[in-house]
Amino acid sequence: MASSPPSVLNHVAGAPVAGVATFVKHSPVDGSVVAVVHEAGPEVVDAAVAAARAALAGPWGSMTVAERVALLRRVADRIDERREELVAAEVRDTGKPEHLVRELDVARAALNFRSFADTVAATGLDSFLTDLPDGRRALNYAVPKPLGVVAVVVPWNLPLLLLTWKVAPALACGNAVVVKPSEETPSTATLLAELMVEAGVPAGVYNVVHGFGPDSAGEQLTTHADVDAITFTGESRTGAAIMRAAAPRVRPVSFELGGKNAAVVFADCDLPRTLDGLARSIFLNTGQVCLCTERVYVERSVFDEVVAGLAERAGALRLGRPDAPGTTTGPLISQEHRAKVQAYLDLAVEEGATVVVGGGVPDLGEELAGGAWVEPTLWVGLDNSARVVREEVFGPVAALIPFDSEEEAVRLANDTDYGLAAAVWTSDLERGHRVAQQMRVGMAWVNTWYLRDLRSPFGGAGLSGIGREGGRHSLHFYSEPTNVCVQL
């Protein structure tokens, strides 16, 4: 007899809480029901915000930095100890290959807590000893204080990784949080709540409310009068809506939004290394990473070689169940998202693209017919005027476009409303530095992709967001200084 799908409840003040209604979560692998999720109504959202406010007035608000650091490290330990449960929950929601979730998502979740524990422990106060013209002396020093109740709204593509990327520094700075995970990936945010309790995090410091965006938990949380700040990762249009919600009370916001990221490939690159790097940057997580490459500009003399090499690597990808040996690539997150990606696949052909590989829905047999599968796809024959070259697809797709000069490559790469990331592939490191610094993006790589130091600034420009995360940059957002001036 088949077991019933698990119930995913809200989490308020250290305890699970039922919602006003439920909705089902379908597997992107085969369409089966994998969870029943409790949607938080306004009363549950109010209770979560009130619990966070109460936590700030309780023991959490009086904890020292050393005590908070110790708690963060205990949370990281609990993530390690319950790693396989987190892997199973993340795989169930996303359909990603198990090895990817284990090696990237869950490993990075623990690292996020340890990294921000280290960062806040090593961060001192700004202080200045000043001799004034009139002979007086003064000591100025800045005391960081938490913002208060922070709304944390996270997407479905890297649910646990991006959740902990925000929650860890928020807690390190002494805030309390109310998390709204995507309705597509509710499980690990809720499981993390259990780990928080086990680690000894006080009730109300970490709360989870489930639901959708407009007219549901997302809107109710971001418009809540007692929320002090909002951090969001997701689509640019949603970020604009949240900004409007934050404007009346001038609340601080931190947004990491969409991207239409470019790679620039010069003829002198290490071709095998470049092709491997490009394939990873286009197809990792089925292209559902904000940093993925969707535009590849290639110096004309090696254009055909790059097209052939990428097509070969795309053809070697293996789509299948997350636990199947050899699976490299999972499905898209949902049927709704697949319909969006498929519309772009059709549009590309209408706009004159030649499909090098992919371009449709794969036949993976009856067992997986209900999943949100799409073929890894490469296009040639397009230019920067095409909608599929200008608009974010968020799938395993890329347009390959030739260029003839460095100046043209820079112009083409910067011809976008987005500004998240770029990659430059060349054996000439002087040119690598030069071109990377000309990219109008928050992050530029040379001869690599997705290689990061967690202390470095992470974020975008234009439609790709506001603010920076990572190391002290996150601490700057999640706290605000009070300057104390003492005449000596």
Active site residue 98: no
CA atoms within 13 A on the CB side of 403: 21
Place of tokens 């998390």: 179
Cβ(108)–Cβ(161) under 8 Å?
Answer: yes
Strand order in the sheet with 127-131: 127-131, 137-146, 479-487
Question: Of 90, 256, 299, 392, which is the active-site residue?
Answer: 256
Cα(448)–Cα(444) distance, rounded to whole angstroms? 9
Cα(27)–Cα(188) distance, rounded to whole angstroms? 15
Residue 284 amino acid letter: L
What does the longest C-alpha to C-alpha distance in the chain come to? 86
Query: Under 8 Å CB-to-CB from 302, ≥6 apart: which residues?
Result: 265, 267, 269, 271
- 9 — phi, psi (to 5°)? -100, 165
Q: How many residues does the chain have?
A: 488
Active site residue 235: no
Strand order in the sheet with 261-265: 354-357, 377-380, 397-403, 293-299, 261-265, 421-425, 443-446
Tokens encoding 190: 């809720």
Cβ(477)–Cβ(466) under 8 Å?
Answer: no
Question: Of 98, 290, 375, 392, which is the active-site residue?
Answer: 290
Query: Under 8 Å CB-to-CB from 456, ≥6 apart: which residues?
Result: 470, 471
- Active site residues per annotation: 256, 290
